[in-house]
Amino acid sequence: MLVNPIKRVYLALESWFNMSFGTEWNPMYHLGTLSFFLFWIILVTGIYLFIPFHGSIDGAHASVEYITHDQWYAAGIMRSLHRYASDAVIVTVLLHMFKEFASGRYTGFRWFSWVTGIPNLWTIVTLGITGYWLVWDELAQYVAVGSARLMDAIPLLSGAMTRNFVAGEMTDRFFILIEFLHLLGQPLALAFFLWLHVKRLSDVKINPPRGLAIGTLLALTVLSLIKPALSHAPADLSKVPQVIELDWFYLNIYPLIDIWPEGQVWILVLGITWFITLMPWMTFKKDGAKAVVDLDHCNGCELCFDDCPFDAISVQARTDGAKFDKEVVVNPDLCAACGICAGSCPSSNPFRSRKEELKTGIDMPQQPVDKMRSQTKEAIASMEGEVKILVYGCDHGLNVHRLESKDTKGVKLICSGMLPPTLVEYALKNGADGVMVTGCRHNDCFYRFGNRWIKQRFAGERKPILRGRADRDRIRVHGGSETDKNRIENDLNIFRAELLKKKQAEKSAEQKEALQEGGR
């Protein structure tokens, strides 16, 4: 099966980080929480630096030099941490965008999260620009003049910036305005846009794993000690700076102003912004049918509400007069059509109605639980060999049909999280010697929590649990993408050998017991 070349690049990068950091600390799985952590570093160091900082034309550069050199062991390190954490957050945000794009997680129902992420990037960049301005060195002067030229290219502001603040002498009043924007205005705007960005998600985490957070802080601290952030010479509006060391993470468009008209630079920047914003609608992707609630089989237990990754399920008072107090309601505009809710429902028990159609409290029209049960029975009936292995796999991991052989058959799911634990027990009781569940890579579920919930259900840590009478030795959970086929096949072969050995041991024990009975 062909894999998108861009996705293949991302998967290779992800695999390299898995080998280097392990799946739990892989930065590629925690780009969002890492960004939040870096924001905390920026906030704390920024507050610390604000204490000795003097926000004026004459005092800014001198106070920053004092921070950098006289107090290098404390404030100086804080300044460098502030600088490098700011650079690092650009890296994590851009990698986060690349990851979502490469994985196809920006179209369909995910358009909202993608589009609301664009203002975050704009706010972060402009926040960095005003931060460089506050140092008021030659780099700040270069940024101020460039910003004025860009603002002057806007028709409503034509000439105002240059006339008032650059052509003459920049005043403390405007400097205080920049200080206000950097310290309060832009951070508040960023906080709002971040809230909006995650508004449609449930169970949002803002802290990375402790080990990853500590490692990130240590790496930034070591970098701050090895290569401390330094200022250029003081700004002098009567002179043109000759040598400027740019921070390309934030100031990459400013050199274009020297070779292009400001209007063309705006066209490029806004064109890229609109292109990225409209990307969800450039690739046609139709979401599947949304989850449907059947109140005749819903007891209002709220498990589907707890498990929904996209906050598409709400709980309200019962409307059908049943003995239960609550019922769940699905918002189709927020529903990802992942089916995780069907796997959460206690009514999705294949043992409930063996001869009649299996009805459950919440289900997916395109692949109801009853169909999953039928596919399970058909797959088991078609197997041949000493051991029979049934593989359930999600649409966004490895195509399970590529693992099929005479003794192994696959059943495709929308998401591994839609698999009711009792269906695994049902498969084992109806002829399968072993069941393997494959999904997305660990900590990287296309629907956020599918592979995590299935592991917790099997471990008895999350309802509905896999019952204790199910033989765990006959169950295997493995995550991976299309590029992980060899690794999954190898694990499947090991699983097959273990099942064969187990079956032979059981058969030997039965024969021994029969001989003992015959001897009596």
Encoded tokens for 292: 């449907």
Phi, psi of 328, rounded to the nearest 5 degrees: -105, 150
Task: Quickly state the pLDDT bin for 348 (edges 50, 70, 90).
Answer: very high
pLDDT digits (tens, 9 = 90+) for 247-298: 999 999 999 998 999 999 999 999 999 999 999 998 767 788 999 999 999 9
* Single pTM value for the model: 0.91
Is residue 397 domain-shared with residue 449, that is, in the same domain?
yes
* Number of domains, the chain: 2
**Domain-embedded: residue 130:** yes
Which H or E run includes 53? Answer: none
Burial of 445 (0-12, 13-18, 19+ CB in 10 A): buried
216 has a pLDDT exceeding 60? yes
Distances (CA, A) of 197 to 113, 114, 331: 5, 8, 18
Nearest CA among 12, 87, 72, 40 for reference residue 484: 12
Nearest CA among 32, 45, 141 for reference residue 95: 32
106 has a pLDDT exceeding 90? yes
Mean pLDDT of the chain: 91
Peptide bond into 464 cis (omega under 30): yes
Is residue 436 domain-shared with residue 354, that is, in the same domain?
yes
Q: What is the mean pLDDT of residues 220-229?
A: 96
Distance CA 277, CA 120 (A): 12
19 has a pLDDT exceeding 60? yes
**Domain-embedded: residue 125:** yes
Q: What is the mean pLDDT of residues 18-38?
A: 93
Distances (CA, A) of 262 to 148, 150, 274: 10, 6, 18
**Domain-embedded: residue 2:** no
**Domain-embedded: residue 286:** no
Residue-number span of the structural domain to which 164 is assigned? 31-234+245-281
Is residue 339 domain-shared with residue 275, that is, in the same domain?
no
Is residue 75 domain-shared with residue 209, that is, in the same domain?
yes
Is residue 85 domain-shared with residue 226, that is, in the same domain?
yes
Is residue 142 domain-shared with residue 87, that is, in the same domain?
yes
pLDDT at 473 (0 to 100): 94
Is residue 150 domain-shared with residue 297, that is, in the same domain?
no
CATH number at residue 213: 1.20.810.10
Encoded tokens for 186: 């832009």
Is residue 56 domain-shared with residue 162, that is, in the same domain?
yes
Over its C-alpha atoms, the chain yields an Rg (Å, rounded) of 29
Q: Facing residues of 393 across strands? A: 412, 438
Is residue 447 domain-shared with residue 313, that is, in the same domain?
yes
